[in-house]
Structure 1
Amino acid sequence: MTAVTATTADTFRPALHYAARNTWLNDPNGLIFHEGVYHLYYQNNPLDNVWGNMSWGHATSTDLLTWTEHPVAIACNETEDIFSGSIVYDRNNTSGFGTGSTAPLVAIYTSAYKQVSAHHGIQAQSLAYSLDGGYTWTKHTGNPVLNRGSADFRDPKVFRYQSDAGSYWVMVAVEAQEFQVVLYKSHDLKSWELLSSFGPANATGGVWECPDLFPLPVDSDPDNIQWVLTVNLNPGGPNNGSAGQYFIGDFDGTTFTSATTVTEGLQDPARLGDYQWLDWGRDYYAAVSFSDAPDGRRLMIGWMNNWQYANEIPTSPWRSPMSLVREVSLQSAAGSWQLVQQAAGDLAPHAGHSPSFNLAAVEISDGQHILDGAAGSVQRIDLSVAPGTAEEFGLIVRGNRTQGTRIGIRPTDSRIVVDRRESGQTDFHETFASIDTAPIQATNGSYELTIYVDHCSVEVFAQGGQITLTELIFPAATNTDVSLYATGGTATLNNLSVTQYA
């Protein structure tokens, strides 16, 4: 079955983002590119549209934008819930799960054991394998394969580590309540030995979850490789609620050493804005990367929701979308490094019949200015604007004359702002209406924004993807205006283009 397009009965179903047909989803897991297909597995309640009955849902795509939903891949049962994890292609059948010439896909997931289990109250790591390319799965009879006796040991991300001394599997998981990433080594995916741990460090205002560890070239230089460790936390994000942070450094096959740690141990609340965040918005969580992506690309996707209000967003019968898939790269910056993110899928085939809207070299005067011909519900907006005397200036999307989501720049404060207090339905939870901000500096005197607008979201990529903010919004279907605005003075629009999508 394929994702259903928006109808009057399902106003908020996204056109460019994946959402399950009629159930709940949260964290992406088991991401892999295999035999020409991207597989997106995810935390799923197959029986309802609120959290519970955790199993692995499954969707596939060949272009990262059009997804086909499949039956539940790995289901919970009376003894365990199936929490987050990852999938590897065991090319050399190190696990022994393969048959003949068929190498297995192996899922490494967290078993959250229930009261009737002999392991009740424990989270431990288990295996399942697939011999048909990831569509049906068999649980390993020897589960769990790694048990620390912990109630909060979860979210294994496994990859193959190659070195001059040989190769082996590395697992990156968390002790969530201890703010620790723990690393293990295995030759067969069944027997694991502890390598090292990392943390606490930087943001520790909530439990640590869903880690990832991968190498990236700096400035596309294959001779300059740094390792990136991502770890999500809930709560404790830079604008409250759930968020993901990252560290950059070195991994020698045993230990990850961070070169970008700001705070050792438990966080200093005053330093929250100094940490490196995958996304500064309220609705980008549990982001992890695809295994075996083609051409060496590092592709990530996150859950587009926030645990503060996740079960209460006003969507039905489905609840929660995923973000757009993003390609991440690593750039040098002021003696350090930072991740840069861009939307990964080719949106051109999704362009609608409405002509693009273009505008250039215009002064934005004080007030709100609706752009005739730019209205739409699903759009990409590219904007370049230079500061003038205005205290704040920018764009209002999915609006009318009184409502809309403001995406603005406050140059004096060096902040980019997403204001969703008047974005539509906001009263379903007391924390939803928000003004969320991130640090930003002008480049060559201008601010460059690319904004993806969908039926229930905005994703902002600023300064070429150096800063991102992802936010859910729930506007009326009739709120489609795009406006420029300035407050307390003027700014200069260098250029603006709007592409409409079907």
Structure 2
Amino acid sequence: MTAATATTAETFRPALHYAARNTWLNDPNGLIFHEGVYHLYYQNNPLGSVWGNMSWGHATSPDLLTWTEHPVAISCDEDEDIFSGSIVYDRDNTSGFGTASAAPLVAIYTSAFKPGSAHEGIQAQSLAYSLDGGYTWTKHRANPVLSRGSAEFRDPKVIRYDGGAGSYWVMVAVEAKDFQVVLYKSHDLKDWQPLSSFGPANATGGVWECPDLFPLPVNGDPENLKWVLTVNLNPGGPNNGSAGQYFVGHFDGTTFTSATTITEGLQDPDRLGEYQWLDWGRDYYAAVSFSDAPDNRRLMIAWMNNWEYANEIPTSPWRSPMSLVREVSLQSMDGSWRLVQQAAGDLAPRAEQTPSFSLARVEISDGQHLLDGAAGSVQRIELTVTPGTAEECGLIVRGDGAQGTRIGIRPSEGLIVIDRRESGQTDFHESFASIDTAPIRTTDGSYELTIYVDRCSVEVFAQGGQVTLTELIFPAATSAEVSLYAIGGTAIINSLSVTQYA
């Protein structure tokens, strides 16, 4: 790698998001809060900057924003690659891996067996355990503990179920090419019995991966719990490529029953926009939640990339960041339920001491309107806009007068739009330059956006987090302008504030 390439790569290194120091990463794995620390494990190639040599990388954080990278936690070897999975704190030592003084953390991961191994050609579920709080790991001698003889059985998320059916561990995994979530139960994490399956349903335009299952109170009411099943798929997202969907319903300890399924079996391509998506952007994939988060918060993080171009984004030797951690809640809306998401970390300590930029009640006309004093490459922008006669209105971020990323509203179409065709470097892959959209409804005639801008990304939370879009961008370091714009008419900016971050 040349010095110029290294400089470019570091230009894009995020300030608010986690990225490995000098290697490849993808799916988040083994998310857990343990002994006051958030642990983020992830798919990692410790030997390069493209996918391969799959192992579990490891980072920790006290606050979900400041991350410390640690040595590889669970390494591939001559027999297996270490694919995605989860970690549980085995408080009662049901597995027997603990000692008299230390209950174990147990990782449940997919062994992707290599040619020449005893299980060549299959994916099966295996265990590793840690007695030092998650920093060093020992593989179980009797791996794998669960096999279906399948080449596409992967991504186990294990939870503790305590309910009417009893108390035991539940594994939620996938048969990826069958578009099916499969559920198992165990009392010791070693011996597993089948429970049920779910799917195909709703989006099936690509393999199903990285499922999760968790309860959430509706509108914050602990007496009204629903269960949420998330499953990621690649490709087949609402704006092409990788994405994640979710279902809301009931879990009785054996079977998950969805109350929000629109299409049984293989999807109807004309109904893609009706499904419930974790994120409508191009770069939010493999989202899963943390175990044992404080105060029963449901915290999720995703890989901020897309398999269409993941290996080619211009950030070598590090490649791919994670999204911001999000707190998700469940609200009743229009006779159904919707996940609502907010950035989870406290950004206040990271704010610059210089005054934030703000304005109130400004009418903008057709054209682009530079905001002097609002420029920045790492910032949070809060905007409330009431459409007038404009066909489209919104913001341009990371601009330079000629280029920038447009984030706007098309009121007559009921859409929010991210246009990154002129966002900076886009020619590294033919599908990167894009206009991506999501359906959005007004609130009292207005639209409210919270936008997190980082050195290589934008994350948009619209209408209080009812709709989110996450997109990578690769602008020049000098492209930092913020502008308002309107197309074909006028709009009212009710309020706008910009907070800069170090």
TM-score between both structures, scaled by the size of structure 1: 0.98
Q: Counterpart of 1:299?
A: 299
Question: Matches of residues 370-389 of structure 1 in structure 2 within 5 Å?
Answer: 370-389=370-389
Q: Name the amino acid aligned to 1:173.
A: A
Q: Share of identical aligned residues, percent?
A: 85
Distance, in Å, in 1 between the alignment partners of 2:257 and 2:66 is 38
Question: Could you tell me which residue of structure 2 aligns to residue 108 of structure 1?
Answer: 108
- CA deviation after TM superposition for structure 1 residue 8, in Å: 6.5
Once residues 439 and 376 of structure 2 are traced to their aligned partners in structure 1, the CA distance between those partners, rounded to angstroms, is 28
Structure 2 residue 297 is the aligned partner of structure 1 residue 278 = no
Matching residue of 1:269: 269
C-alpha distance 24-8 of structure 1, shift in aligned 2 (>3 A): closer
Aligned equivalents of 1:296, 1:302: Cα separation in 2: 19
Unaligned residue ranges in structure 1 (runs of 5+): 1-5
Pick closer, same or farther for the CA change 1:359–1:234 going to 2, 3 Å. Answer: same
- What is the identity, as a one-letter code, of the residue corresponding to 1:84? S
Confirm or deny that 1:397 pairs with 2:400: no
Structure 1 residue 219 and structure 2 residue 183: aligned?
no
Q: CA deviation at 1:163?
A: 1.4
Q: Deviations over 1:450-500 (max 9, x none)?
A: 000000000000000000000000000000000000000000000000000
- Let me know the Cα RMSD of the aligned residues: 0.8
* Contact 2:165-2:252 at 8 Å conserved across structures: no
Over residues 88-147 of structure 1, what are the superposed CA-to-partner deviations in whole Å (9 max), with x where a residue is unaligned? 000000000001121000000000000010101100000000000000000000000000
Q: Paired residue for 1:52? A: 52
User: Is the Cα–Cα contact under 8 Å of residues 177 and 207 in structure 2 kept in the other structure?
Assistant: yes
Aligned letter for 2:472?
A: L
Q: Which whole-Å CA distance do the structure 1 matches of 2:304 and 2:449 have between them?
A: 20
Which residue matches 1:326? 326
Aligned to 1:93: 93
Partner of 1:206: 206
Structure 2: which amino acid aligns with 1:456? C
Measured against aligned partners, the alpha-carbon deviations of 1:261-294 in whole angstroms (never above 9, x if no partner) come to: 0000000100000000000000000000000000
| In structure 1, C-alpha distance between the alignment counterparts of 2:454 and 2:318, rounded to whole Å | 16
Q: Tell me which residue corresponds to 1:496.
A: 496
Using the TM superposition, give the Cα deviation of residue 355 of structure 1 relative to its aligned residue in structure 2, in angstroms: 1.8
Question: Structure 2 matches for 1:69-88, cutoff 5 A?
Answer: 69-88=69-88
- Of 162-171 and 142-151, deviating more is 162-171
Give 1:164 deviation, angstroms: 3.8
Partner in structure 2 of residue 144 of structure 1: 144
Partner letter of residue 409 of structure 2?
I
What displacement does 1:352 show?
Answer: 1.6
1:426 corresponds to 2:455: no
Q: Which residue of 2 aligns with 1:3?
A: none
Residue 400 (structure 1) shift: 1.2
Matched, 1:40 2:36: no
TM-score, normalised with respect to structure 2 = 0.98
- Equivalence for 1:29: 29
The DSSP-based 3-state class of the residue aligned with 1:125 is: strand
The match for 2:125 is: 125
Q: Secondary structure of the residue that 1:479 maps to in structure 2? A: coil
In the other structure, the counterpart of 1:458 is: 458
Q: Which residue of 2 aligns with 1:440?
A: 440
| Aligned pairs, number | 497
Q: Report the Cα offset of residue 58 of structure 1.
A: 0.1
- Aligned partner of 1:237 in structure 2 is 237
Q: What is the aligned partner in structure 2 of residue 367 from structure 1?
A: 367
Task: Label 1:101 to 1:166 Cα distance change in 2 as closer, same or farther (>3 A).
Answer: farther
- 1:152 CA displacement: 0.2
Query: What is the rounded CA distance, in whole Å, between the counterparts of 1:364 and 1:29 in structure 2?
Result: 45
Closer, same or farther: CA 293–407 of 1 in aligned 2, 3 Å? same
| Cα distance in 2 for residues equivalent to 1:266 and 1:472 | 30
1:166 CA drift (Å): 2.6
User: Following TM superposition, by how much is the alpha carbon of 1:7 offset from its aligned partner in structure 2, in angstroms?
Assistant: 6.5
Following the alignment from structure 2 to structure 1, what is the Cα–Cα distance between the partners of residues 379 and 364? Answer: 22
User: Using a 3 Å threshold, how does the CA distance of structure 1 residues 103 and 426 change in structure 2: closer, same or farther?
Assistant: same
The answer to whether the aligner puts 1:478 opposite 2:478 as a matched pair is: yes
Residue 290 of structure 1 is matched in structure 2 by 290
1:187 aligns with 2:184: no
Deviation track 1:2-30 (CA, whole Å, cap 9, x = no partner) reads xxxx9666100000000000000000000
Tell me the equivalent position of 2:3. none
